[in-house]
Amino acid sequence: MAAVDHRVKVTFVEHYTDSLFRFRVERPEYLKFRAGQFVMIGLEVDGKPIMRAYSITSPEWDEELEFYSIKVPNGPLTSRLQHIKVGDEILLSGRAVGNLLPFSLLQGQRLWLLSTGTGVAPFASILRDEGTYQKFEEVYLTHTCRQAEELQYSKQLVDWVYNDPLCDELAKKQFRYYSSVTRDPDYPRQGRITDLIRSGKLFDDLGVPAGLDPERDRVMLCGSMEFNTELRDMLEEAGFKQTSGRTVGEFLLEKAFVG
């Protein structure tokens, strides 16, 4: 990670709940990234930079960069970042990194992007990359949160994907979204994704062949540590190998960053 920080202007802010918001910033010309990667962003506090890793949610073609963030009341960065306004400046690190890339998976028929909370962030970019649809015939995004109101961003994302200038036609044929909540009894779809996979309800609801099979399925995970660990164990039991170092496997994972 380059040590040099640059300042970029905030161009847009949208708040969803007391704990979730998205914002857009100018994209410096030098900043190249691949869908699924992250950068360090931050603010200067008392003359010192406070930087955290944030997945880029905007597509590679976008002239700006977008981020989706939690607001942690006492979080060193997000307690401040949540107050940014259009025209303010934030710090941005020199380059994008990370290996949560569809490119880093073996070819397969179905790609499952499984997320909780702000873990949906990298998939927002991946779902607007033509390469994703060229590599996989079917692409499924699952997003699970505690409350239905926390699904607002991913629901908006579905619209963006189906109306994307490059991917819309492919996405309409190949992409499906599946949401569930765990602590909001009024929402029609209930349950942790791990339970919905085990019971087969996920596949029944989508009307697709049941089970995750390393011959056919590829999986990318982004959520809390517990979520990643539980799903990693489930996948390994089912015979999936994780991409690591020089080995390209059937699944990949990344921790959802919190700052």
The footprint of ligand A2P on residues 169-198 (CB under 6 A) is: 182-183, 192-194
The single-letter code of the amino acid at 196 is L
Burial class (CB in 10 A: 0-12, 13-18, 19+), 215: exposed
Applying CB under 6 A, the site for ligand A2P has a residue count of 14
Read off the tokens for 49: 């930079």
Cβ atoms 97, 37 nearer than 8 A: yes
Binding of ligand A2P by 252 (CB under 6 A): no
Q: Which of 146, 155, 173, 198 binds ligand A2P (CB under 6 A)?
A: 146
- H and E: helices and strands count for the chain: 8, 11
Which CB sits closer to ligand A2P, 99 or 224? 224
Between 111 and 181, whose beta carbon lies closer to ligand A2P? Answer: 181
Q: Cβ of residue 193: shortest distance to ligand A2P, in angstroms?
A: 6
Nearest to 122 by CA among 72, 67, 190, 71: 67
Among 145, 167, 197, 222, binds ligand A2P (CB under 6 A): 145
* Contacts of 74 by beta carbon, 8 Å cutoff, 6+ apart: none
Q: Which of 18, 169, 205, 226 binds ligand A2P (CB under 6 A)?
A: 226
| Residue 152 touches ligand A2P, criterion: CB under 6 A | no
Give residues in contact with ligand A2P (CB under 6 A).
116-117, 144-146, 182-183, 192-194, 224, 226-227, 230
